[in-house]
Amino acid sequence: MRTLTSLALGAVAAAAGGIGYASLIERNAFTLRRWTLPVLPAGAPPLRVLHVTDLHLVPRQRRKIEWVRGLAALEPDFVVNTGDNLADEEAVPFVVDAFEPLLELPGMFVMGSNDYFGPVMKNPLRYVDRSHKRGSATGARRLPTDDLVKAFLDAGWQDLDNHRGRLVVRGLDLELVGVDDPHVQFDRYAQVAGPADPSAALTLGVVHAPYQRVLDAMTADGAGLVIAGHTHGGQLCLPFYGALVTNCDLPTDRAKGVSRWWPGADGAPSSAAPADAAWMEVSAGLGTSPYAPVRFACRPEASLLTLVPRG
């Protein structure tokens, strides 16, 4: 009996320790991921791209704000923001403060569902059945999205929500294709569909939630690189295994990091990618919902992508 009691107390202590680590330590252990991607034409100079996503910011998170501000020291060539910046009705000026040094650089953005709707309490069992793959804003309050968009636009960043754009950086002409958040069915790829411009050094796809319908469409049209967020890398992961869910229909082995994607890639390993398959980078992002402020075996992150010539 004493042995069973000791085991039970040990299990409770381990669980409490794990929760404490996940909520107090790891969710604030911000890290920078670095990737090198061969997506540019021969002879092109390298480009440094800073990808920031899923801040889920509330005004009190000063440590996160200062960490994001410090990313300007990396001196990237341009910035990609893939949404879910907000987690509070009062957060817009704090998001602008976090990005203020980066707003001096060329940039682009798309919105995530949490830029439109405030967080709501959800049944955690949704994350172990198929319902986590379908977004919903039921019962959520609207956030001041227009104020956030205006701040980014006033800084010169390009809004790629169901829009195309161009960016010339270091003498390279980049074609930009983006959609609004597929997680709440705001994506309208038909408005931006079309073959990649062969004169562009790179066609870059930008999306918040990497749903396969968007990934397939972008890569079928010739995007050479797709950048996304949303998944939180699984957020609560198993050591040595990885993500259990992606909060969309992306396979869990692509929940974060770099992989290859092509139409029909679902279930296939990156090693099976055809020669013309696109590169895809999915960031685990920097935040969590205020109602689930934990991360385990999945540190919050931003990404620095160095784009180099193919081959």
Give DSSP secondary structure letters for the chain. Answer: -HHHHHHHHHHHHHHHHHHHIIIIIGGG--EEEEEEEEEEPTTPPPEEEEEE----B-TT-HHHHHHHHHGGGG--SEEEE-S--BSSTT-HHHHHHHHTTGGGS-EEE---HHHHB------GGGGGSGGGGS---TTPPB--HHHHHHHHHHTT-EE-TTEEEEEEETTEEEEEEE-S-GGGT---GGGT-SPPPTTSSEEEEE-SS--HHHHHHHHHTT-SEEEE--SGGGSB-BTTTB-S--SSSS-GGGSSEEEEE-TT-TT--GGG--TTPEEEEE---S---TTS---BS---EEEEEEEEE--
In this prediction, residue 120 carries a pLDDT of 85
Output the pLDDT for position 8.
37
- Given this model, what pLDDT does residue 165 score? 98
Q: Say what the pLDDT of residue 270 is.
A: 83
pLDDT in single tens digits along all 311 residues of the chain: 556 454 433 433 333 344 555 556 899 999 999 999 999 999 999 999 999 999 999 999 999 999 999 999 999 999 999 999 999 999 999 999 999 999 999 999 999 999 999 998 765 545 545 555 555 555 579 999 999 999 999 999 999 999 999 999 999 999 999 999 999 999 999 999 999 999 999 999 999 999 999 999 999 999 999 999 999 999 999 999 999 999 999 999 999 999 999 999 998 888 899 999 999 999 999 999 999 999 999 999 999 999 999 98
Q: What is the pTM (predicted TM-score) of this model?
A: 0.91
CATH topology classification for 2-309: Purple Acid Phosphatase; chain A, domain 2 (3.60.21)
